[in-house]
Amino acid sequence: VCPGDCGCVGCPVWCVSCGGVVRVALRGLPGVYELLSGVSVIRGCPTDVVRVSGSRERMSPSVAVDLQDEMFWSVCGWENDLRRFLRLGAAHDGPSRVVTLGAAVQTLDRLFDRMLSRADCGAVFGRQIMELFGRALRVARNGPLRSLLRFPCSYCGVRALVQQEGLPNRPWYTSCEQRLGGCGRLFTEQEMEWQTAVRVVIQQ
Ligand SMILES: [Zn+2]
Ligand SMILES: [Zn+2]
């Protein structure tokens, strides 16, 4: 059974849609890491106060710093684990944490299919990357992170597509929500572009 939200069975570890979502999250980690740096810097600037989604409270910058720590050690840990698994040499530390994290993400992205299809830990890896990215976004951003789209899912025809925002102005993924009567499929941004193109063709 795929560990993602799609509910599909018979996949090796992750299905293509959910794997695509994990990959978008992985590639987005350095960006959201830098967003979190902004959280501590803008402390005390009232117009830029960062709120946890749904609350009006100010957030302690230490939350962002702790989260950056967690992201750094988690991603570098996975990179080292994969390097050991594939008998590659150890990674080298960069001049800064951002650079080291970026290099670790690049390695994991380059060897993404190998990593995600690992029977021993591919499921845990993917879940952890999605969870980290999602949680870091909630901390780094304020305002709504999810919105219901106006048009129906092109697979099941139900109007249950909910878009999850990623980095500013960039969708992360869209899910056809089962709790709204949808089919539970997940779509990456590229797949949504394709769906939108199909809609345009149908309307013409
Ligand atoms: Zn799946
Ligand atoms: Zn659907």
**Amino acid in the structure at residue 159:** R
Nearest listed ligand to the Cα of residue 158: 2
Q: In this predicted structure, what is the pLDDT of residue 107?
A: 97
Average pLDDT for 69-81: 96
Helices (H), 11-121: 16-41, 61-85, 97-110, 112-116
131-159 pLDDT, tens digit per residue, is 999 999 888 876 667 888 888 998 899 99
Cα dist. 69→15, 63, 87, 136, 180 in Å? 30, 10, 26, 11, 36
Tokens of residue 197, six digits: 């193109």
Q: What pLDDT score does 121 carry?
A: 94
pLDDT band of residue 200 (cuts 50, 70, 90) is low
Between 33 and 194, name the one with better pLDDT.
Answer: 33
Per the model's pLDDT, the better-predicted residue between 202 and 156 turns out to be 156
* Ligand index nearest the alpha carbon of residue 8: 1
Q: How far is the CA of 127 from the centre of ligand 1 (A)?
A: 11
Higher pLDDT, 178 or 200: 178
List the structure tokens of 186.
């997940």
Cα 43 to Cα 49: distance, rounded to the nearest angstrom: 7
Residues, CB-to-ion distance under 5 Å, ligand 1: 2, 4, 6, 15, 18
Q: Is there a contact between 78 and 85 (Cβ–Cβ < 8 Å)?
A: no
Ligand nearest to the CA of 153: 2
Mean pLDDT of the chain: 83
Å from CA of 175 to ligand 1 middle: 11
Cα 182 to middle of ligand 2, angstroms: 5
Residue 97: DSSP 8-state: H
Of 152, 161, 125, the C-alpha closest to 29 is 125
Assess whether pLDDT exceeds 70 at residue 81.
yes
CB contact at 8 A, 175 and 162: yes
pTM reported for the whole predicted model: 0.80
- Residues around ligand 2, an ion, CB closer than 5 A: 153, 155-156, 176, 182-183
Give the pLDDT band (50/70/90) at residue 49: very low
User: How far apart are the CA of 48 and the centre of ligand 1, in A?
Assistant: 37
